[in-house]
Amino acid sequence: QVHLVESGGGVVQPGRSLGLSCAASGFIFSSYGMHWVRQAPGKGLEWVAVISYDGSNKYYADSVKGRFTISRDNSKNTLYLQMNSLRAEDTAVYYCAKWGAVTMSLDYWGQGTLVTVSS
């Protein structure tokens, strides 16, 4: 079965950097696009970024463009999100999610990792 496990969350000061990882199993990772979605405490879902199956295409939400970088290592079945110049408003639970080639939606999600940006 599909399994996605995020890691790397924690408390970080404004302006600093943090990197998240998402370990994937149970499917052919190198065949699917992958996304990051975040959820601020008590708020709704916000789409953050997507990367194509081979890493050649990447798109970002305007709110993170130029500060966040999505990447992947298909040899390690792992998705990454490098977050730079962090702001208080980046505080959220960050989920990785698998793109469904048939469903054209996010068909499986990880459990999320909490990032808190605070001095």
Least gap, CB of 61 to another protein (angstroms): 5
Task: Name 27's Cβ contacts closer than 8 Å, sequence gap at least 6.
Answer: 2, 98
Between residues 111 and 118, which has the closer beta carbon with respect to another protein? Answer: 111
Buried b (16+ CB within 10 A) or exposed e, 29-63: beebbbbbbbeeeeeeeeebbbbebebeeeebeee
What the block records as the tokens of 82 is 């490098």
Number of other CB atoms surrounding residue 17 within 10 Å: 11
Smallest separation (angstroms) from another protein to the CB of 91:
17
The nearest distance, CB 119 to another protein, in angstroms, is 27
Beta carbons within 10 angstroms of residue 117's beta carbon: 19
Residues near another protein (CB under 8 A) are 35, 37, 44-47, 50, 59-62, 95, 100, 103-112
CB 68 → another protein: shortest distance, Å?
13
Q: Which is nearer to another protein, 62 or 66 (CB)?
A: 62
Q: Output 44 or 66, the one with its CB closest to another protein.
A: 44
Nearest to another protein of 13, 66 (CB atom): 66
